[in-house]
Amino acid sequence: MNQEIELEILKNITNAKNQKSIANEIGHSVGKVNYVLKALIEKGFIKSERFLNSNNKIQYKYLLTEDGIKEKIDITDKFIKRKKEEYEELQREMESYKSQYSYAKSKEGIN
């Protein structure tokens, strides 16, 4: 679950205005985004830079580092692999359901 949140943050970080906008975009709380974002910064995947916006409010600009891009690729690859495995499992279940249905239908035809 954490890797999925990390991936969502890594995907949305360059367009982020603030942590609240990231939270709204990915559907998690600002606190959760803050926690994961700090961890990503500590790991060196994201750099943050402070700046003043036109309203004299301090904001941060988040930048994906080279390591962050590599991590984004790695997490995406793992995500795709996991989803393919889930899809294949669902396909096997569907085939089993179809077999059960065909068997039940054939038994009805005999009786």
Give pTM, 2 decimals: 0.70
**Diameter of the chain measured on Cα atoms:** 82
- pLDDT value at residue 35: 94
- pLDDT value at residue 110: 57
Amino acid at residue number 21: S
Q: Around 31, how many Cα atoms within 13 Å sit in the side-chain half-sphere?
A: 0
Helices 66-110 and 2-12, packing angle to 10 deg: 120
Tokens of 100: 């059960």
Amino acid at residue number 31: G
- pLDDT value at residue 60: 77
pLDDT along the chain (111 residues), means of 10: 87 85 91 94 90 66 92 94 96 93 79 50
Domain range holding 78?
A: 2-110
Q: How many domains does the structure of the chain reveal?
A: 1
Q: Please give the Cα distance from 52 to 54 (Å, whole number).
A: 7
Tokens of 104: 């039940």
Q: Please give the Cα distance from 55 to 64 (Å, whole number).
A: 26
Instruction: Give the CATH number, domain containing residue 89.
Output: 1.10.10.10
